Each structure stands twice: as structure tokens, then as C-alpha cells.
Amino acid sequence: MGRFLEHSRIFYFHNGGNEEVYLGSADMMPRNLNRRVELAFPVQDAKLVRYLRDEVLATYLSEVVKVRHMSADGSYSRDSRHPNRREMNSQEWFIKQSAKRAAST
């Protein structure tokens, strides 16, 4: 969650090397699934799978600014495991990448 109060809905399954990537209209939480119609669909184009895995998900997984960890009791805490890691705000990074692409066209 960040500036846009949103996060991606990319679901990655390694499946012992038989990768599957799905995009969805909601995160898989009961409040989104119990009383609404949502969908998830497989990404079948290999180039898009690589982009989503290697660029988008890798960027989100390198996040250190907004990341939180959920405990077994449902509470959240800030990430303190990587105190020397370079700060990464994934949404700001995506905004900058989008601006670069727009400027080059």
C-alpha cells in the first residue's frame, strides 16, 4: 500500500518449476470473495510471465519502505530485518519508470 492505496494482484506459483502466473481483480481475502464477484485469470504469454516475475514482482519484493509483516495473531510490524538495505519504495519506482517511458516516446 502506498500513494495510490493499491497493490498488485499478481499471483505467482512455482509449482516445482512449472510456473503459473495469474492476475486478479482483488486480493484473496474473505471480505473480497464472500459477497462480490471477482476473477483471476492465467497469464499464458511467456514474455509477460517473465516481465511480471522478473520486473514487477522482483521490484515489490525488494520493497523496504512500506513493507510490513503479519504475525500469527494478525498484527503487523515494520520490517527491521534489513537495517542496512538501500531504501526502496516500489510505487515510487514504478512512477519514475513510467515517466521515463513516457519521455522517451
User: Tens digit of pLDDT for each residue in 3-14?
Assistant: 665 667 889 999
pTM: 0.69
Kindly report the CATH class assigned to 10-104: alpha beta
Residue 48 pLDDT level (bands cut at 50, 70, 90): very high
Rounded Cα distance between 40 and 11, Å, is 9
Residues linked to residue 20 through DSSP beta bridges, in sequence order: 13
Angle (CA) 21-23-105 rounded to 5° is 100
| Domain boundaries along the sequence of the chain | 10-104
